[in-house]
């Protein structure tokens, strides 16, 4: 495979992202009304963090510990946690180099997009 220039990715073996989430055109509300839209990792990262936070809240309410560092559990589960993104890439206007989405783990979407029900069950909330 033809890779982008090495200066654009981690060559030590640690691949990111671990998971992916929709990151375009999130409606932002404040004080009960819309204030605009948000896109990028500023939208997708809080989405996934919110899922984990809700699971932690539910676990705490049951007297269980929080999930802690979730990556080992996610990687052990592999593709069973969500939707594998198999097409597309992260080559955009601002980034001419990038990676393709492929079946299984890839450098664009990691393990894919977590599905709430599966993630919730996996982490036993």
Question: Do the annotations mark residue 104 as ligand-binding?
Answer: yes
Q: Which DSSP string corresponds to 41-76?
A: HHHHHHHHHHHHHHHHHHHHHTTPPP--S-HHHHHH
Question: Do the annotations mark residue 93 as ligand-binding?
Answer: no
Which residues have a Cβ under 8 Å from the Cβ of 89 and sit 6 or more positions away?
Answer: 98, 99, 100, 101, 108
Q: Are 77 and 122 in contact (CB under 8 A)?
A: yes
Question: Do the annotations mark residue 106 as ligand-binding?
Answer: yes
Q: Are 59 and 67 in contact (CB under 8 A)?
A: yes
Rounded Cα distance, 79 and 84, in Å: 6
Question: Do the annotations mark residue 33 as ligand-binding?
Answer: no
Tokens of 74: 């996610």
Binding positions: 84-85, 104, 106
Binding positions for Ca(2+): 84-85, 104, 106
């Amino acid at each position: 495979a033809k890779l982008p220039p090495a200066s654009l990715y981690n060559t030590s073996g640690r691949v990111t992202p671990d998971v992916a989430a929709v990151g375009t055109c999130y409606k932002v509300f404040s004080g009960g009304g819309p204030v605009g839209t948000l896109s990028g990792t500023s939208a997708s990262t809080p989405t996934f963090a919110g899922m984990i936070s809700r699971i932690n809240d539910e676990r705490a309410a049951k007297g269980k510990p929080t999930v802690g560092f979730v990556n080992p559990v996610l990687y052990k589960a592999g593709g069973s946690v969500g939707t594998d993104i198999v097409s597309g890439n992260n080559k955009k206007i601002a980034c001419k180099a990038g990676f393709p989405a492929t079946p299984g783990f890839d450098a664009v979407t990691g393990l894919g997009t977590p599905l709430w029900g599966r993630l919730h069950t996996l982490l036993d909330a």
